[in-house]
Amino acid sequence: MNLPYFMQFFLAWISSFGFAILFNCPRKELFACGVCGGFAWVIYTFIYLSTINEPFGVFVGAVAAAALSRIFSYRHKAPSTVFLIPGVIPLVPGSQMYSTMKAVLSINIYDTFLEAIKALQFAGLIALAIILIFSLPYKYFEVGKQRD
């Protein structure tokens, strides 16, 4: 998070690109999958660092990933799942999962609950952001030219 934003974008792009390969996304969509993940992470970091409100950052990052995946879905004529799943992956609370387990092992009850609730909160916020964006009508996301 201390890296410059373009570097963070690039790294998040790499990670989402990797996940797109693991989920067997079509070869021609891999680049766009990475772009969803890159924007999700950069927006999350930007909001987190400027408002010191991590859950809000996760929510806005997931909103960005979901909106981008719907735009790409329109432009590339592919199901939005293809872009959405690799796109939100950088925000999934993997590090909170580890911290919870660490706190359990060192019998630190306070940290256990704190980290577990954080992990649940982030997962819930990602779900909420996806539900919010996918409830909007299709026409809002018809941006740009459609690939033929």
Which range in 46-54, 85-93, 137-145 contacts other proteins by CB under 8 A?
85-93
**Single-letter amino acid code for the residue at 87:** G
Tokens linked to 89: 């992956």
**146 scored as a contact of other proteins (CB under 8 A):** no
Residue 142: other Cβ atoms inside 10 A: 12
Tokens linked to 58: 């996760």
Burial class (CB in 10 A: 0-12, 13-18, 19+), 52: exposed
Q: How far is the CB of 101 from other proteins (least distance, A)?
A: 4
**79 scored as a contact of other proteins (CB under 8 A):** yes
Residues 33-52 vs other proteins: string with x where CB under 8 A? --------x-----------
Burial class (CB in 10 A: 0-12, 13-18, 19+), 128: middle
CB 77 within 8 A of CB 144: no
Which of 67, 90, 118, 141 is in the footprint of other proteins by CB under 8 A?
90
**53 scored as a contact of other proteins (CB under 8 A):** no
Summarize as ranges the residues that interact with other proteins (CB under 8 A): 1-3, 8, 11-12, 14-15, 17-27, 29, 41, 77-79, 81-82, 84-85, 88-90, 92-95, 97-98, 100-102, 104-106, 119, 123, 126-128, 130-131, 134-135
